[in-house]
Structure 1
């Protein structure tokens, strides 16, 4: 059974009762089919009603859910013949951003993204998906490699932000992120990005300055985390829910502002409840956008991508 979020407590109680009844029904001594069907219908209705009216802070919690698919899951589900590529050829390997070559629905691609890791050891290894300068320099290397062989690039974004440690700053964190964004905007091959969980600050934009940016229904995308915003504005990180509401970080807001191009629907209850369906649906959307971009000239891809981001500033708030 997956972990429940705070606002899912009524759903958790119903589903716990359903699990108990199923155990009773397993021995065949009691016919509780009608009661079980009634509770299952009630639980589905409760789930549907809850997820139909999620606020920005609740969507942030869903985007951070520990059971949402990670980069490794998407690769396993969508990419064939995947060959990981490591290192920035300058300092070190950074496991927070991973990527490599593979085939996506018969098409050779370069795929990369943030990996948060699972379990304590996995999260420490991948630094919770918060990349250091060498991670962004590796991303640049892989994008340029894709450009050399005329391969489209697919990026999957899921990070709270770039790593804010002193050592990362000493090694040029801001410069590395800026160069990654510049590389995205300069590429002469198709670049499609998906915000699959958290899209945090420059750490996200560094992989998402793309021709097409799609976003899961319950993902979030923002210049800063709600808690960070609250700490700066009000000196109280506990006011994260207030900041989330003000930042306009949801897919619904961002598609209106033309920051993202398409919202990808999630299974009822979020991608963490049905990862297989969520990943397949995202695959369909990515495939469609890659097909749309496939016939465009290199110069046109570069120009339209730059124009897309320049025009964002002209959208009224």
Structure 2
């Protein structure tokens, strides 16, 4: 199990959230009858546990349940160990429902993306309910509260000059929904016997893509992240993964494409003020942890950052 007690996205989320007008609070939706969390508890009594949110391109399997049960065990342990903790504990899970992979899976099934997401998300909710997972919030990224949070987060990044529009090109894997550096691409024989480019890690096909997107100035965070990780040995556990991330940061940290052309990817959250672009699903999905904490209302400051992520 990897527990990310604090992560770079979390630090960026907290920094990006400050200093902008805040709309009305978004209320978390409970996934079970478990405790919801209380705002009137002392800050040190609060705890916030999360799982990843799970992709709905296919039905849930034992790995999804395993992740949820790990977080559930941590959450239940705290409720038992700390007096009064039940009312001041949040535990979130949910489903990740946007992106090209979902769009393609829905097309292959002959369904609108909304219907596919509704069906598969319901399977996840039923599995966790039957297994007794005691989450206080099951978030779907297609919910209106999450859309508001993502667009507010985007505006915060833009207000700080961390986004710019430019041409982005590279090897793109539709199955994995990510760009890959040349070192992560190999040539393997295709159906015709000719060499085809594939992802080294997943084996999925990749294609060279060049388009105008919004780009996040990730390169600005390389040195601050290095300093923070060196000063925070418990930030990523187990320790070998902490070393791995530091090794990655020894290399260049290129700026990152965070949108896609809407003509290519329509199943997602539109970029505020630019209907020609869709917010990249990985940025969209990361904000889910903030959404459950109450972002962009002032409430989220009481719960963020999360105690642990499993």
TM superposition score normalised by structure 1: 0.23
Whichever structure has more helix as a proportion of its residues is 1
The TM-score normalised by the length of structure 2 is 0.24
Higher RCO, Cα 8 Å, sep 6+: 2
